Structures are given as structure tokens and as C-alpha cells.
Amino acid sequence: MDTILELTLQHIQIVAVAVGLAILTGVPIGIAITQDQRAADTVLYIAAIIITVPSIALFGVMIPILSLIGQGIGYVPAVIAILLYSQLPIIRNTYTAIANVDPALREAARGIGMTPLQRLRQVEIPLAIPVIMAGVRTAVVMNIGVAAIAAYIGAGGLGQLISRGISQTDPRQLVAGALAVSILAIAADFFLLWLQKRLTPRGLSVKRG
């Protein structure tokens, strides 16, 4: 059991670091492309292409490139892969949420003299939070699966149980690993849903009465 716990923590760490970095890059990109329709189309197209690349292929491509800095396999390529896969849901949701802020609110914000940055911080981002968080949830759940495959390039995590189960034809390890990954994905989804509700401004969820 000790190893399952350790592997789970490893797994969480890979996904958390990668998605954390993806938020730091994806949200600003998503906001930036609301200013230019052509840039938005291009960026979303590229992100969509990246997500269609099978993870095994992506790891394979990264091995020779990252070998140049001595990180061809292991933790670093796993994080980079998940970082790339997370871009589409995070950028797309950020872009959609910001672009769909009620034009009347934007006009009111401009009309009372907010600068573009104040508009973002005080109005647009708070209103976009629920949708951005939904993108983060998608990214996390999806990439908990991707991280399991990263065991094949020595990144550790629960994928090790699965890969060992396959190579040793040991169904116990295989099932334990698969179950642990599934449970982790479900638990992460619930946790992020809770977090999403916490981060949503209260004024958006209140009812009339």
C-alpha cells in the first residue's frame, strides 16, 4: 500500500505541476487572443492539432530533442506533454468565457472610465472564472490518463503499476493501477468542482429572492 500511495503522490505531482504551468500560460494566451480574431483562430487550431497527437508519439518525438539537455526521458518530458495537452481546454475556455462577457458590461466598464486592465481584473476575469475552471477540470481529468502512459518513459506514477502488471502478466498490479488512476481522476474532478464553486464570485450564483 505504501507504494501505491507514493505512486499516487508522484502522479498527482506530475499532473499538478504541468496543469499549473498550463494555467499560467493558457489563461494569458486565451485572454490575449480575444483581441484578434485571426490570432484566435490560429492559436486554437494549433492547440487542437497538438491534442490529436497520440501521447506515445509525443513522448517519442521529445526523446531526441530533450536528450540535448540530458532530459530525454523521465519527469521533464511527461510534464511538457501534459502542459501541451492542457493548452486546448484552458485556452479555449478562457477565450470563450472572456469573449462572451456581456457587451453591455464591457460598455458600462469602459463608460465609467476603467482602463483595459481594470476591466479585465474587476469584471471580465471574475465573470470568466467558472468557465476557465471548467477547462482546467477537463485538462486535469484527461491528463491523469496521459500521465499513466508517461510511466513508459520513466516518469513514475501510477502508470508503473499498470506497465509492470502488463510486462509481468500480473492482473493484480494491472487492476490496482487502473483502478487507482480512475479513482484519482474522479476524486480530482470532484475536488476541482468544489474549488470552482469556491472561486466563482458569489454574485454570479445567487438567486433572486
Partner 1 sequence: MIRLDELTKVFGTPAGDITAADRIDMEVPEGEICVLLGPSGCGKTTTMKMVNRLVEPTSGRIFIDGTDVTKTDPITLRRRIGYVIQQIGLFPNKTVEENICAVPDLLGWDRKKSRSRAAELLELVALDPAVFLKRFPKELSGGQQQRVGVIRALAADPPVMLMDEPFGAIDPINREVIQDEFLRMQSEIKKTIMFVSHDIDEAVKMADRIAIFDSGKLIQYDTPDDLLAHPKNNFIADFVGGDRTLKRLRLITVEEAMMKDPPRVTADDSLSDAVAKMEEHGHQSIIMVGPRGRARGAIRLSDARGQKGRVGEHYSKLPTTVRINEDLRNAVSAMFSADETWLACVDDDGNYKGYITQRGITHILGATYRDQ
Q: Footprint of partner 1 on residues 118-147 (CB under 8 A)?
A: 118, 122-123, 126-127
| Residue closer to partner 1, measured from CB, 57 or 206 | 206
| Residue closer to partner 1, measured from CB, 1 or 104 | 104
- Would you tell me how many other CB atoms lie within 10 Å of the CB of residue 84? 21
Q: State the minimum distance, in angstroms, from the CB of residue 97 to partner 1.
A: 13
102 lines the binding site for partner 1 (CB under 8 A): yes
Asked whether the CA dihedral 49, 120, 96, 128 is positive or negative, the reply is positive
From 55-63, 90-98, 112-120, 179-187, span contacting partner 1 (CB under 8 A): 112-120
Rounded Cα gap, residues 122 and 96, in angstroms: 18
Please name which of 204, 43, 41, 20 lies closest in space to residue 129, comparing C-alpha atoms.
Answer: 204
6 lines the binding site for partner 1 (CB under 8 A): no
Q: Footprint of partner 1 on residues 165-204 (CB under 8 A)?
A: 201-204
Compute and round to an integer the Cα radius of gyration of the chain. Answer: 20
Whether 81 and 150 have beta carbons less than 8 Å apart is answered as yes
Rounded Cα gap, residues 84 and 80, in angstroms: 6
Q: Which of 114, 163, 164, 196 binds partner 1 (CB under 8 A)?
A: 114
Instruction: List contacts with partner 1 (CB under 8 A).
Output: 102, 104-105, 107-115, 118, 122-123, 126-127, 201-204, 206-209
